[in-house]
Structures are given as structure tokens and as C-alpha cells.
Structure 1
Amino acid sequence: MPESIAVVRDLAPFDAATIDKREYLVLSRIKTLSTNQFTFLLALFYVCVFNIPLFGIVKQGIEKQADVNYIFIATIPLFLVFALSFIFSIFSVKYITKGFFITLTLLSSSVFFAALQYGVVFDYGMIENTVQTNTGEALTYLNFSSVVNFIATGLLPALLIYKVNIDYKPLVKELLHKILFMVAMLVGIAVIGFFFYQNYVSFGRNNDQMKRYIVPTYAVGSMIKYVNINYFQTPLVYLQQGLDAKNVTVDSNGKPNLVVLVVGETARAKNYQYYGYAKATNAHTSQYDMVSFQNTTSCGTATAVSLPCMFSSMTRKEYEPRRARAQDTLIDVLDHGGIDLLWLDNDSGCKGVCDRVKHINIDLNSDPQLCDGHYCYDQVLLNELDKALATPVEHDTMIVLHIIGSHGPTYYLRYPDEHRKFTPDCQRSDIQNCLDEELVNTYDNTILYSDYIISQVIQRLQAQQTVADTALVYVSDHGESLGESGMYLHGAPYSIAPSEQIDIPLLSWLSPEFSQENGIDLNCLKQQAASGTYSHDNLFSSLLGLMNVQSDIYKAQLDIFAQCRTSVENK
């Protein structure tokens, strides 16, 4: 029996009910914390658990240094505890404490898991990508590991926060204690800063990515930024662009141009046979005269950023999501120029790019053989393409196929069994628990299946050559990490993103008739593609040029086809 309870029993000859009541009061007191104790313990938990990925970055920084001050390194967790304790104290206010910190803990649990298992950082771009994620996409991240983590580091701590008794003192006394506690935390920070300021500045400058892994401050700051920009700032006045656009195609053979643009998802150049990969991941299109543009980079590392950016007139360095939403896209300018347009989408939507032209989002229950209610194989787009091509093409036309491609982490759900060529593969969503060979094989199967889709599109374009001059362009929105340097998936801040997430494939196929009628020298194009440097910045003007749309917004220096035009001028 605890000594405190024994003392209560000896105080007076009360009846059993009274003794039980006093026992309860004593035991309850043991579970009671002051607001300062609660705040400090919570900060300690956040540092010791949620900031484990941060200390992994610290470890990498230490390994890069020849001379390490380990006393300074030891102060980092202490500094974090002091800093979080100070910040948490601001929100440790009666009536809001539990609700606020339960919400924050559940959120931080998810952020922690994403950083620990996949190396994902929740910056503005990732917040934007998360907000735009549909239900089916979100469910792919639900697996045994994520559920266990959420229970262990989210639900259980949240339950403890809910159950704990917090002893709020009278207002003046509570405020005084809080101020003294916050001052003490600031003193701790100041002392560390006094002795190790230069160490923090130097180490932080050499390991700038550290700040992005601090939980919960960086993710919360990114969320506040996203909410402020999207919900509290005055919308920009919409800007129409390319109203002067006109189609200047020289139609000497009486046939219109028909171009299919395939927008890939999560395909990285590193795993393409066309870019030096040893495995035959382009076996289906290798029979066609494909042009692969080497050294091509994406505008972002997530669809929510890259897709609007690649169709924007802004370059990556100029790009601002808010401005992009308030102005015409490449699709709009093509529309102004008289091009017939159709957007077919089997991914997460066009992110506003195609809103003002005809577009079809695939019904996820439309085909029981190709769809499961959450996703469809990309073959479903071929069916829609067949419907579109059933009507003869009468004017210059561009059809966009937005494929789901290599969307992770459930790569194994992106290809049918008959396209499961590389084995053993990883038939699970917690990809961090797959063997490296299995994970790469699974991803390679998605690349090969996308290559099959492209080959099928080319076959359909070849069948149209009696009525149209046909061409195809394929470009991925961003790349993917498959465990290199401990990183998985995509969405890393661009400044620290590995090449796997930004090096992408850019391919083209031009029928002989299209090349001849549009004056494009294929040999010249292949030479240029092999030696040049390209990016999503090139897409806007290149497609205007390919469709022979003339406009003041067109930039010849960014048109990848311009230097190889022989007889037909776009400007």
C-alpha cells in the first residue's frame, strides 16, 4: 500500500466510504500536473519521439564534419525542449489546452511517420498536394505500419492528454507561474546561445534542411501559409493571355494536325531505357522512332505544383501558384488560337489547367475490368481516346491524356497481372518494408506499363494518318525516390530534392507526314535532344510551336522544335 494512502487511513476513524474517497483524492492528485509540468513533459515527448527524423539529419551533418563539438550537439535536443516548452506555454490556456494539443499531436503523428518512413517534408507544396489529394489516393497510404504508428504516437498520447488532470491555479497566480516558466525557458535558450551561437549558425547553414524536419513548427507554419494565401488574401484579378493567338498551320495536304500529349505521373528518367537504364522498361515503344530529350527537369516535386507550373507561361523560378490560378494556361491559349481540345484524366484532376475547355475525369466505377472504385488502370483512357477518335478530326486538335502512371506508394496497383514482367515485385503499400529489388521491380513494372499505353496511343495515331498528320509528346510531372538516401515517394522541397525526384523523361514521336508538313527535321531534333538541357519551362512555347499557334506570348528560345524547323515558320 502506498505510504500516502496509509497516512490517510491513520488520520481519523472515518468509515470505509470516507476512507475510499480520500484514497481516490490522493490517487487523483498523483495524476495531476500543473500547466508548466504538462507543457514541459509534452515538449519532451515531441523532442524524443516526433523529432527523431530531425536527429537523423543532425547525424548526417555530423558525419560530414571533420571536427565535431559534441557538447554543442548535446545541446540541440535541450534547445528544442526549451523552445517548444516556450511555444507550447502560449497555448496552455484553460479551456483550449486539451483540444489544441490533442489536435496538434494527431497531426504531428502523421507528419512524423511521413518523415521517418519516407523522408517526406511538409512544406507549402506538400500541404497543397495533400489538400488536393482525393480519397482513393489517400487510402494508398493506409497500411499496417501507418496504423500502428498513428495508434502508438497519435491516439495513445492524445488519450493521455485527454485523461490527465491539469491543475489551473487562480488567474493571477497561474499567469505569474506561466511567465516565470517562459522566462526560465528563454534563459535556457539564451545560455545555450551564449556559448554555442556560432556553432548553431555554422551547423544550420551547412544543414539547412534541418528546419524542415522540426515537428510541429515547420508543418504548422506551412499550413498557416497555405491557409493565408488561399483563404485570406484578396484574389488576384484574372489575367487572360494569348488573346492574339491564331493558328498559322500551312495545310498543303488537306489534313489537320492531331497531337496527343501524355502527361505522366511520378516517372523518373533514371528508370527509363531511353536514359541509359539497363532494364527494358521501354520495350513497347522501342519499335517506334522516339526522340528522348536528355537532361530534363521538372518544375516541382509534386503534382499540385508541377502540373499547373508546366502549363503556365511562367518559368519555374518565376512560378507562383496564386498567380498561376489567376491567369490563362497553355490550354487556354491553344483554345484562343482555334485548336480543338480535349483533356482526359485518370489521375487526380487537372489542378485547374483544363477547367475552361472540354475535359473528362474518368469514372472510377466505369469499367469493372479496369477499375476498382478507387483507381483505374490507364488502359481506360484508351477507351475514351477511341471514342474521341471515332469522330473524324476536322481541325487541328490536341488531346491530353493525364495518366496515373507510377503513382505510389501502391505501385503494384498501377499495372494488370499480364504486365507484371519484373519479379519479384512488392505487393504492398508500406514500401519501406520491401526489399530494394522488389521495390524497384514494382516501380519498373509501372514504367513498362506506361510505355505500353504510349505505344497503344501511337498505334491509334498511325491509324488516323489517312485523315490527320499525327504526333505524340510524353512528359512526366515529377520523379520519385525509391529509398535512395532513406527517401521515398516525392514532394521534397525543390532546394533539397534529390535528382530522382526532379529528373524526368520527355519524349516525342512525330509521324513522317507530320514532320514533313510542319517542317521539322527529325535528325536535327534527335541531335538536339541528345545534347541539350530541358525542363518544364520548355513545354508552353514548344506546344504552341508544335501546334503552329502564333502569339506574342510564345518564346522561340524555349521551343524545343524551333531550331529544327526547315520550311515552315511559326513566327
Structure 2
Amino acid sequence: MQSRVKSLSVNQFTLITSLFYVFVFNIPLFGIVRQGIEKQAEVNYLFIATIPLFLILALSFIFSLFSVKYLLKPFFIVVTLISSSVFFAALQYGVVFDYGMIENTVQTNSAEALTYLNWSSVLNFTLTGLLPAWLIYKADIAYKPFVRELAHKLAFMGTMLAGIAVIGFFYYQNYVAFGRNNDQMKRYIVPTYAIGSMIKYVKVNYFQEPLVYKVQGQDAKNLTQDKNGKPNLVVLVVGETARAQNYEYYGYNKPTNAHTKAYEMIAFRDTESCGTATAVSLPCMFSSMDREEYDARRAKAQDTAMDVLSHAGISLEWLDNDSGCKGVCDRVKHINIDLNSDPELCDGHYCYDQVLLNELDKRLAQGVSQDTLIVLHIIGSHGPTYYLRYPEAHRKFEPDCQRSDIQNCSDEELINTYDNTILYSDYIVAQVISRLQAQGANADTAMLYLSDHGESLGESGMYLHGAPYAIAPEEQIKIPMLAWLSDEFAKENAIDKQCLRDHAAGGGFSHDNLFSSLLGLMNVSTQVYRKEMDLFATCRIK
């Protein structure tokens, strides 16, 4: 008798699991529903009441497909553990696990992953992941003989479909209209959207036949006219997680660009990123494809801007203090900073970006004998541990947020911490320019800086980045892009700096400009170059 009380039928287990998923893991979804309700002039509350019921019926039907002996427990344990992490990311940070976020997660290194480990995440995983997984493991499931079990399952699934049909009969138009007006809802349904994105990622990356590699720009030629006997030396600084609205150059009311102001920077206004995560944006910005046509699989199978520059004989080097170049620099000389290389600047997990300056010094000490591009990939403003991105001496804005569970910091603390990262990145850029100025006797020098994507800091309940591009807020898409050209570089490369400053103020730029702009800046001629996308072409002195 006691055993019967403890036992659950397969259908009971399925229904209980569905209820748990709907009323725990889908709390963020109901937040989106609430926002949708608030936007409507008239609300049919009977329709709204059917949404959780519809979800219970739909998940029960889907879960029934996997509620079979020998598969039931391992399947639901794994899915529950995954769903716990997806739920926490959506609830605390507003992060959605779509294909791009799955790709970004897979490419995240262990040090970066540890920054998300805090008391809030551990407690959530324990209560909504480990505990339910343990209960699933211990559950006493009473399986019936195969034919009877199948009959009960089909009856259960038929009942779920009937319930869905009844709701659809009365409220189909409501669901269509509400879903169309709140398209992001589907991305918050746990576990279907995240699991679907994972399956798509695995299919694309492990089960599709690799594309034939496409070499681009083999006709590339360096057309630099060496009038003064000095080569061009350009440093490209690729920032991390910097958003434009916290830059003084774009009207921000705090001195976050105090270090570079003396260098007459050229700030390109209204610049948009290609993606909202490094794994998407970095390959995209160096690709010959524009964002609208960008395909990650194709990008991996063709030359990048770095490769085309290499075909033209430009000396190239990529110095990385972030999570790697995501394939962009694979075929050119590159160095990933050893996280134990400098006891003053590194802690074994991360290094301050100043370590890149030391590497740049080593490179410049070797001398520059030909046209050269050096890329510095900085860790910049990577969260959530913003406070670990700047040394104590650069902690200018206080009080700041000295913790990784940033959602528990005050708005003032969080903004101050993030602004400190922007100011420190500005210091790094200023130091790069200072070093380029010191090279004036040996080379004509220039610097270009841009970020890979922006960041949400609690606006509309969203934190961090990685939102699907279609629904991503401005904070995650609008990025800074800055240029500095020495007078000698501008003169020898026939660029009118005042014209460029006026052009930059006009706005309307994006990562799409980088590919041809790098080729143009290095005076490389090739069929894959597009003059209309070159930031500098408009201001070339004829």
C-alpha cells in the first residue's frame, strides 16, 4: 500500500514535470507576457489565462514522447539541469539561449565561465537543477506492460491535443495577434527554444559536410606609394563589450574618455555591431559579407580581411587578451596572452589589458620595415565581473560593484563599475597612440578602435549581451568606433582629416565597413574591396 502511494504513473510524472517547468522555468516568459499585456489597449483576460494552460498541455504532449522506460530519467535529469541554467540566465540577466548564444557559450573558456559563478547562480542551480534532478532520480515510476502503457500514453497525449484544440478553437486569432506583436515570447519558452538551438548548433557544426574553402583576394596588391621612405604602421584595437552610450565622445556626461581627449580622436557616430556576442561579431566584422547576408558556416570556410591583407604582403600580427580570435587570425601570426605571464597584471584567470602594451612594445622594438597591421584584442569591459577589468589605480568612479552577481548591485554601483572599464580601455588606447607617436621617425602611424558589441546594464530588466539581434536593445548593438591618424600618415596616404571628422559625425556606420576600410587604410587593391564601404575613401585627396 505504501509503495502505491509513492509510485507515479508515467503520465502523472509527465504532468507534474510539465507543471514544474511552466510555473518555475517559464517565469521569465510570463514577464514577457506581462509586458505584452501592458502594451495593449484592450485585454482579453480569459485568453491570457489560457496561456499557462496551453503551455502545460503542449509540454505534456512533447514530454510524453520521451517518457519511456530507460529513457525517462536520464533524459529529464539532463534537460532539467540545462533548463535550470537557461532559466537563471533569462531571469537574472534577460539572456536568451538562441543559436548565437549557444555558439558563444561553446567557445567560452573556463576562466570566462567562472565569472558567472556566484552565490545566486549556485543557489539557483541547487534549488531548480540539482534538487529536481535528484527527485527525478529517486522517483518511483510504475511502468505498465508495454501495450497498456502505450494505450495510456496515447490516451494522455490525445487528451493534451484535445485541450490544445479547444483553446485554439476559441482563441486562435488572439494567439496569432499576441504572438506576432510579442515575437520574442517563443525565445523564452523553456526548454524547447534552448534545446532546439542546441540541436541546430550540433547539426550545423558536426553533421553537415564542411564547405569547400574559398580563397579570396589572391589578386591583392599593396599600392602604398612610399614617398618619405617610411612604411605604414596601423594598430587595430578590437574592444570587448563596449557600448557607445557610455562614451564621452557620444555625449555621455562622465569623463570616460579623459585619456584620449588630447589626441584629437575621430569618433564615428551611430555605429552598429554585426552581432551581440563575440563569437558572432568578431568573425562577421572581418568577413567580406555584410550582416544581412552573413552566414557563420560560410565565414569559417573563406578568407578574412586578415588573409586578404596577407595576400598583399602586409605584415600582420594578432595579439589576444580575450577569448581568442574565433578563427579570424588562424592563418596569420597570432599570440594568445599567457594568463600566468605577468604576476602584476595576471592572476591565472585573466590579465589586465596593459599586458598587451608590453607585447606591443616587444613587437615595436623589433623595428618596422614594411607596411604593418597589428591587432590588439582586448578584454575591455567583459562582464559580469567588470570590477576585475581595471586595476585599483584606475578605479575612478565610485562606489562600484565589486561582485559578479551584478543584478544585486545598485544602478549607481553597476554603472560606475562599467564606466571604470570604459575609462581603462580609453587609457589602453591612449597608450597605444603614445607608442605610435614615438614611432614617428620610423613609420607613418594610425590607430583604429571599435568594439565587438555593446552591453545591457539593467535597462528593461536585461543584463550582459547576447540577445537575439532581432529583439536586441540599442545598448547591445550601438558601439564606439574611433580613429587616430598621425599628420604624416594622413599626408602620405592622402587622407583629409577634417573631411574624415565631418564624415564620421554624419553617422550610419557598422561592422560591415571594417573589411574594406582595413584594405583601404593599408592601400590594398583587390576585387573584393568595395569603395563605398571604405570609411576613408570619401576623404581621399585626389
Q: CA–CA distance in 1 between the matches of 2:526 and 2:56? A: 58
Q: CA–CA distance in 2 between the matches of 1:511 and 1:29? A: 82
Rg: which structure is higher?
1
Residue 532 of structure 1 corresponds to: 507
Q: What stretches of structure 1 move > 6 A for 4+ residues in a row?
A: none
Residue 366 of structure 1 corresponds to: 341
Residue 556 of structure 1 corresponds to: 531
Quick check: 1:503 aligned with 2:478?
yes
Residue 438 of structure 2 corresponds to: 463
Q: CA–CA distance in 1 between the matches of 2:215 and 2:49? A: 56
Please list the CA deviations of residues 15-64 of structure 1 after superposition, one character each: whole Å capped at 9, or x if unmatched: xxxxxxxxxxx323211100000000000000000000000000000000
Quick check: 1:180 aligned with 2:152?
no
Quick check: 1:356 aligned with 2:340?
no
> Could you tell me which amino acid in structure 1 is paired with residue 334 of structure 2?
H
Q: CA–CA distance in 2 between the matches of 1:125 and 1:490? A: 11
Q: CA–CA distance in 1 between the matches of 2:5 and 2:444? A: 81
Q: CA–CA distance in 1 between the matches of 2:465 and 2:374? A: 27
Residue 277 of structure 1 corresponds to: 252
Q: CA–CA distance in 2 between the matches of 1:218 and 1:402? A: 32
Residue 273 of structure 2 corresponds to: 298
Q: Aligned ranges for residues 336-355 of structure 1 at < 5 Å?
A: 336-355=311-330
Q: Aligned ranges for residues 79-90 of structure 1 at < 5 Å?
A: 79-90=54-65
Q: Aligned ranges for residues 21-36 of structure 1 at < 5 Å?
A: 26-36=1-11
Residue 264 of structure 1 corresponds to: 239
Q: Tell me the SS of whatever aligns to 1:360.
A: strand
Normalised to the residue count of structure 2, the TM-score between the two structures is: 1.00
> Could you tell me which amino acid in structure 1 is paired with residue 351 of structure 2?
C
> Could you tell me which amino acid in structure 2 is paired with residue 445 of structure 1?
N
Q: Tell me the SS of whatever aligns to 2:388.
A: helix
Q: Tell me the SS of whatever aligns to 1:91.
A: coil
One of 400, 410, 417 as aligned partner of 2:385: 410
Residue 453 of structure 1 corresponds to: 428
Q: Aligned ranges for residues 153-552 of structure 1 at < 5 Å?
A: 153-552=128-527
> Could you tell me which amino acid in structure 2 is paired with residue 505 of structure 1?
P
Q: CA deviation at 1:173?
A: 0.3
Q: Tell me the SS of whatever aligns to 1:429.
A: coil
Q: Aligned ranges for residues 111-150 of structure 1 at < 5 Å?
A: 111-150=86-125
Q: CA–CA distance in 2 between the matches of 1:461 and 1:204? A: 54
Quick check: 1:105 aligned with 2:80?
yes
> Could you tell me which amino acid in structure 1 is paired with residue 404 of structure 2?
S
Please list the CA deviations of residues 275-317 of structure 1 after superposition, one character each: whole Å capped at 9, or x if unmatched: 0000000000000010000010000000000000000000000
Q: How many residues align?
A: 542
Q: CA–CA distance in 2 between the matches of 1:263 and 1:532? A: 20
RMSD: 0.4
Q: CA–CA distance in 1 between the matches of 2:284 and 2:122? A: 34
Q: CA–CA distance in 2 between the matches of 1:245 and 1:30? A: 76
Q: CA–CA distance in 1 between the matches of 2:72 and 2:515? A: 50
> Could you tell me which amino acid in structure 2 is paired with residue 519 of structure 1?
A
Q: CA–CA distance in 1 between the matches of 2:350 and 2:75? A: 35
Please list the CA deviations of residues 91-140 of structure 1 after superposition, one character each: whole Å capped at 9, or x if unmatched: 00101100000000000000000000000000000000000000000000
Q: CA deviation at 1:518?
A: 0.2
Quick check: 1:43 aligned with 2:22?
no
Q: CA deviation at 1:532?
A: 2.9
Q: CA–CA distance in 1 between the matches of 2:245 and 2:2? A: 62
* Unpaired segments ≥5 residues, structure 1: 1-25
Please list the CA deviations of residues 342-365 of structure 1 after superposition, one character each: whole Å capped at 9, or x if unmatched: 000000000000000000000000
Q: CA–CA distance in 2 between the matches of 1:107 and 1:469? A: 53
Q: CA–CA distance in 1 between the matches of 2:456 and 2:415? A: 10
Q: CA–CA distance in 1 between the matches of 2:481 and 2:430? A: 15
Q: CA–CA distance in 1 between the matches of 2:478 and 2:359? A: 30
Q: Aligned ranges for residues 4-23 of structure 1 at < 5 Å?
A: none
Q: CA–CA distance in 2 between the matches of 1:199 and 1:289? A: 56
> Could you tell me which amino acid in structure 2 is paired with residue 67 of structure 1?
E
Q: CA–CA distance in 2 between the matches of 1:555 and 1:430? A: 44
Q: CA–CA distance in 2 between the matches of 1:27 and 1:167? A: 13
Q: CA–CA distance in 1 between the matches of 2:210 and 2:335? A: 27
Q: Tell me the SS of whatever aligns to 1:333.
A: helix
* Unpaired segments ≥5 residues, structure 2: none
Q: CA–CA distance in 2 between the matches of 1:31 and 1:218? A: 33
Q: Tell me the SS of whatever aligns to 1:475.
A: strand
One of 43, 47, 64 as aligned partner of 2:39: 64
Q: CA–CA distance in 1 between the matches of 2:72 and 2:342? A: 49
Q: Tell me the SS of whatever aligns to 1:317.
A: helix
Q: CA–CA distance in 2 between the matches of 1:31 and 1:506? A: 63
Q: CA–CA distance in 2 between the matches of 1:73 and 1:44? A: 17
Q: CA deviation at 1:392?
A: 1.1
Please list the CA deviations of residues 472-521 of structure 1 after superposition, one character each: whole Å capped at 9, or x if unmatched: 00000000000000000000000000000000000000000000000000
Q: CA–CA distance in 1 between the matches of 2:497 and 2:66? A: 64
Normalised to the residue count of structure 1, the TM-score between the two structures is: 0.95
